[in-house]
DNA sequence: CGCACGTGAGACATTCTTGTCTCATGCGGA
DNA sequence: TCCGCATGAGACAAGAATGTCTCACGTGCG
């Protein structure tokens, strides 16, 4: 019984620590274990009891990021309706986690070789499948590979997260900025007199 | 006399070291001073004689990146002709240095506060000016701010550089991928029967 | 030949971070 | 009240990277 109580308390704390760490590392990716602990309001010893080391912490954050991405993919129902709308929903779902994603994205570039978590491969595949679906349906152009579009989406998410964090762009525009640029590009569409497009 | 000789030799070496370091740090941004020295074919002592420390090395790389960006901006003649073509020229000019830029870009996110080199501000302004010019001329849409477009360009450059480095996309497509996505977006343009666009 | 100078190799102290450990404290339950 | 247990504080050793220094070597030049 008390076991259960304690377990639950620890679980709650673990989640809180994880989110604090994510928020801190998003801003300062080189933060030390001591800083992470302090940011979570616990001591370094306790932090170390919950996560065997820095690697374990980062791996836990990676798992969290993967879980959030998969949740976002599921919530966005990327296989339903027009691919265009699915992309909009996906970006909107990911927006709250873009900071963590940006951290993990750059963290992955930090090491060469060193196989990455298989979860990312699944997510890459889901996103690429969405783009591929859009190409098949004729919504998307076919001269840009799904792999590149996937990478580009990550890059735009990270850029936007950093730009927002540093106050260079307004947070409220986050989803709009990314979706509009990704879908429509910067070139102004040649206005064909009047058309159904608003 | 010998002064001149030695100065010139050192300058050449310095440039070689800088480029080796750029190439290495592009792949492994956490490379140690010893690895950087080894990559340049010199000893750690000599590396230290040319660059007071790691900070000095990174700052020198930053200066190199800034110089290359400014050279690219100049070579692309961003204030001439259609902004669309100017963007194409700019990306093409930057392509060879995208790896270094990606390293510096993520390096800048590593620290909070810590004022960044003013050179970046000038470059940001030049790029933003290009986008603003495109908006004024009616080539570009006006619902995306020049600041965001600038950030997005950096993000796409970094994404593409990493994707190429890891073999996820073909190097030869670099400029095409970035320019086409940035300018036209992923959405397939509604085909208005026949039009001047090829 | 002899000298000056850049260089490589390596020793060394220093600093930072990590990981482990111990101990006192406080809180909650039995 | 008493006990169990998680926590915080801090000491400690180990490892990595850095920065500094010395010394021997080789090359080029006078």
Buried b (16+ CB within 10 A) or exposed e, A155-177: bbbbbbbbbbbeebbeeebbbbb
H-type helices in chain B, by residue range? 2-27, 33-40, 44-50, 54-75, 83-94, 98-109, 118-136, 146-165, 174-184
Residues 34-73 of A with CB under 8 A from B: none
Q: Assign A24 a pLDDT band (cuts: 50, 70, 90).
A: very high
At residue A109 the predicted structure's pLDDT band, cuts being 50, 70 and 90, is confident
Consecutive 10-residue runs of chain B (198 residues): their mean pLDDT? 41 84 93 95 94 94 97 98 98 97 90 78 98 97 97 98 94 97 91 52
* DSSP designation for B140: B
- Chain A closest CA to B8's CA: distance in Å? 35
What is chain B's Cα-based Rg? 20
pLDDT in tens, A44-86: 999 999 999 999 999 999 999 999 999 999 999 999 999 999 9
Q: Is the CB of A116 under 7 A from strand C?
A: no
List of domains in chain B: 1-51 (1.10.10), 62-198 (1.10.357.10)
pLDDT at A117: 82
Check pLDDT > 50 for residue A1: no
- For residues B137 and B126, give the distance between their C-alpha atoms in angstroms, rounded to a whole number: 17
A188 closest CB neighbour out of B30, B106, B140: B140
Residue B90, token pair as written in the block:
């700019």
**pLDDT at residue A190, as a whole number:** 75
SS3 string of A28-56? CCCCCHHHHHHHHCCCHHHHHHHCCCHHH
Binned at pLDDT 50, 70 and 90, residue A113 comes out as low
- The verdict on a CB contact (< 8 Å) between A182 and B184 is no
Contacts of A141 (CB under 8 A, 6+ apart): A135, B180, B184, B186, B187, B188, B189
State residue B4's pLDDT score: 39
Considering only the C-alpha atoms of chain A, give the largest distance between any 2 of them, rounded to a whole number of Å: 72
Name the nt closest to A54 by C-alpha to C1'. C18
Pick from B151, B89, B139: nearest CA to A186: B139
Mean predicted confidence (pLDDT) in A141-154: 97
Q: Per-residue confidence at A95, pLDDT binned at 50, 70, 90? A: very high
B29 touches chain A (CB under 8 A): yes
């Amino acid at each position: 019984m008390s076991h259960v109580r304690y377990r639950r308390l620890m679980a709650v704390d673990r989640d809180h620590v994880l989110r604090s760490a994510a928020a801190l590392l998003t801003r300062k990716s080189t933060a030390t274990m001591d800083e992470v602990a302090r940011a979570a309001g616990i001591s370094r010893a306790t932090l170390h009891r919950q996560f065997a080391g820095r690697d374990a912490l980062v791996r836990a954050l990676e798992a969290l990021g993967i879980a959030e991405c998969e949740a976002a993919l599921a919530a966005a129902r990327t296989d339903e309706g027009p691919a265009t709308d699915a992309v909009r929903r996906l970006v909107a779902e990911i927006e709250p986690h873009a900071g963590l994603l940006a951290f993990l994205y750059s963290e992955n570039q930090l090491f060469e070789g060193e196989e990455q978590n298989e979860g990312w491969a699944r997510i890459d595949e889901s996103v690429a499948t969405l783009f591929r679906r859009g190409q098949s349906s004729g919504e998307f152009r076919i001269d840009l590979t799904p792999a590149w579009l996937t990478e580009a989406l990550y890059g735009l998410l990270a850029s936007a997260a950093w730009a927002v964090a540093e106050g260079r762009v307004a947070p409220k525009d986050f989803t709009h900025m990314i979706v509009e640029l990704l879908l429509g590009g910067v070139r102004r569409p040649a206005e064909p007199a009047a058309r159904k497009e608003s």
